[in-house]
Amino acid sequence: MILRKKDSAAKSPWTGCSQFLPTTQKIIQFSDGKSPNQGDKIVYVAGAFDLFHVGHLDFLEKASKLGDYLIVGLHTDPVVNSYKGSNYPIMNLHERVLSVLACKFVNEVVIGAPYCVTEELLDHFKIDIVCHGRTPIALEDGKLDPYAVPKTRAIFELLDSGNDMTTERIVERIILHRLEYERRNQAKEKKEIEAFEALQRQKQTHKAG
């Protein structure tokens, strides 16, 4: 496993300052600790895997069935921020690492994986196939295909997990529910104010009478 320090300037404006303290022991507890066997077909996927959800789970399960050993590359917070926008990631890198490692289909995680899949990465891990889901592929610097190298090697495959759940969809639900909650509270508060004012008027009328 490759361990790298988190960028001290990276943070999510949605979650504020995380109090999570990563240690190698915590990471080991979530890892299966197994190395690939001789002759194993090694599958590689990469992404943010933010707010780990059932869409991620279905994708990783399907990817794992393409080989014998599944490696997940996790992008750093600044990299995720660059291609998803300023509100992402919701979870910081180390929180995302433990979420992905806890998935039974994942054998290894590359922490701080390069956004562009390089020759060095493919050769170092002896990767046989590289997969990507249905979400659009953002070009690096608006022009570089991050999967150009595996495509050249003819080991790239688009994978349809059959699940359309995304982190963005979850965030949209949270925002929608929050707005509905606020509208209900505002309507309730308005009724309470109107009832209180009506009661006050009745008291004043009673005193005047």
pLDDT digits (tens, 9 = 90+) for 14-25: 344 444 555 666
Q: What is the pLDDT of residue 140?
A: 86
Q: What is the pLDDT of residue 21?
A: 58
Six token digits for residue 136? 């659009």
Angle at 20 between CA 60 and CA 167, to 5 degrees: 35
Is there a single domain that holds both residue 95 and residue 143?
A: yes
Is there a single domain that holds both residue 185 and residue 150?
A: no
Residue 97 near residue 26, CB atoms below 8 Å = no
Q: What is the pLDDT of residue 6?
A: 40
Is there a single domain that holds both residue 68 and residue 139?
A: yes
Domain membership of residue 16 (yes or no) is: no
Domain CATH for 101: 3.40.50.620
Q: What is the pLDDT of residue 194?
A: 76
Is there a single domain that holds both residue 205 and residue 175?
A: yes
Domain that holds residue 181: 167-209
Is there a single domain that holds both residue 154 and residue 181?
A: no
Is there a single domain that holds both residue 161 and residue 171?
A: no
Residue 132 near residue 150, CB atoms below 8 Å = no
Tally of domains within the chain: 2
Q: What is the pLDDT of residue 208?
A: 67
Q: What is the pLDDT of residue 61?
A: 97
- Please identify every stretch of the chain with a pLDDT value under 50, giving residue numbers as ranges: 1-19
